[in-house]
Amino acid sequence: MHELEVTSPQFENEGWMPDSLAGYAEDNSPELNIGGIPEGTMTLALVMDDLDHPLVKGFNHWVAWNLPPSSRIPGSIPRGATMENPIRIEQGIGYGKHGYRGPKPPFNWNHRYRFTVYALDAQIDISADSRKEELMEAIENHVLASGTLTGKYQRRHA
């Protein structure tokens, strides 16, 4: 399978995510840049997981689909099931809400957050209340390429 290059101007892969992206602060989604989108891509899907959650490994913070196959996903996407501005996006339930929910590890724990972007050969038709599991099932035979970006976050103020 083809590999996408996923980067952000706000943090490097395996680097520290800024406070503006955290649930303790503005809780803004990061800007993501996508390189290597293959020909035939109709839509993108996006998943963000906390890799170090103490109870649920891979605790989902964001799940989205039917994004246009663009080389840039803008930051600060508002919460809501279907948004048209600043980009068309359908957002399922991650961390109990429709939309991005930033890092919010308790105490001063250091957690890693993985953003995975999928290039798909189809539109995805699932309920707005779908979670990561439903998205992964729906895209199973439609993934042309995928790529990841992992950021770290640690609350520096008690």
Per-residue pLDDT tens for 67-83?
Answer: 999 999 999 999 999 99
Q: Could you give the 3-state DSSP secondary structure of residue 47?
A: strand
21: confidence class by pLDDT, cuts 50, 70, 90: very high
Quote the CA–CA distance of 17 and 19 in Å, as a whole number. 7
Q: How confident is the model at residue 40 (pLDDT cuts 50, 70, 90)?
A: very high
The enclosing domain of 132 has a CATH number of: 3.90.280.10
pLDDT at residue number 1: 64
pLDDT tens digit sequence for 86-111 = 999 999 999 999 999 999 887 778 99
Domain membership of residue 12 as a residue range: 2-154
State how many domains the chain has: 1
Contact 47, 19 (CB under 8 A): no
Tell me: pLDDT of 157 over 70.
no
